[in-house]
Amino acid sequence: MTVRIAPSILSADLGRLKEQLESAVSGGAEWIHVDVMDGHFVPNLTFGAPLIRALRKLTDRPLDVHLMVERPERYLTEFAESGADVFTFHPEATVHVQRHLAAARELGMRAGLALNPSTPVGVLHEVMDDVDLVLVMSVNPGFGGQVYLPQATDKIRRVRGLLDQHGARAVLEVDGGITVETISEAWGAGADTFVAGTSVFGTADPAQAVRNLTRQCAVRV
Ligand code: DX5
Ligand code: ZN
């Protein structure tokens, strides 16, 4: 399994977005994580399709879009057309989860399901064949710069077990509080993709920050 770092532009200096992206990518960032918040599902309000379109022009890296919004299905088509590569939403935010996962795939995106700290892993049993990515939240979503919740590690392990048991090849991503101190624990539990906001764009050298995170995963603990 190889490690994939997905820096979150939530923590980027948007006035220097191009430069910040280029730095992260030069350090080895594979995906760019885009946190879409609607002020309802989470208190914060962030980006929408215009920024996804702008990012599409600024980088050729896959855009990993994480919707913290109610009724995310309203944005399936627009986000696909804007250049989103991954469409991840929360099961609590909508009624027909399976339908929307399938729709994301039909529109050419990877279909992702995000699990809040209190969301049971069991929801995955019902949609195992429909997910391309499982996002384990290691904080309660809504803000950057929060502390990694230690119970996320066991949840990652349980999701990894479930995916392996089903022979599923879905990406296992973790989001929230990922730093050089916490990433190896999540990697050791079986995550392969790591969202990192503050620990990449909160530093003076995003390229070096991505390299430092990647290095922590060199040895599986
Ligand atoms: C949190 C967002 C995260 C956020 C992570 O609600 O989903 O993607 O950008 O930020 P850090 O890495 O600072 O915890
Ligand atoms: Zn996120």
Tens-digit pLDDT profile for residues 174-184: 999 999 999 99
Contacts of 179 (CB under 8 A, 6+ apart): 148, 196, 198, 199, 213
Determine which residue's CA is closest to atom 6 belonging to ligand 1: 141
**Protein residues with CB under 6 Å of any ligand 1 atom:** 8, 10-11, 33, 35, 66, 139, 141-146, 175-178, 195-199
Determine the Cα–Cα distance for residues 188 and 217; give it in Å rounded to an integer. 8
DSSP state of 221: -
> For residues 79 and 108, is the Cβ–Cβ distance under 8 A?
no
Structure token pair of residue 97:
């989860």
Task: Decide if pLDDT at 221 tops 80.
Answer: no
Question: Hey, whose CA ends up nearest to atom 4 of ligand 1?
Answer: 144
Q: Each residue of 4-31: pLDDT tens digit?
A: 999 999 999 999 999 999 999 999 999 9
In the predicted structure, residue 1 carries a pLDDT above the cut 90 = no
pLDDT tens, 62-96?
999 999 999 999 999 999 999 999 999 999 999 99
* Helix and strand counts by DSSP (H, E) for the chain: 8, 8
User: In a mutational test of the pocket of ligand 1, which residue from 5, 14, 146, 178 has the highest number of ligand atoms less than 8 Å from its CB?
Assistant: 146
Report the atom number in ligand 1 closest to the C-alpha of 10: 9
User: Hunting for tokens 């990894």 — which residue is that?
Assistant: 160
Q: Which pLDDT tens digit goes with each residue over 29-70?
A: 999 999 999 999 999 999 999 999 999 999 999 999 999 999
Report the share of the chain in percent with pLDDT over 90.
Answer: 97
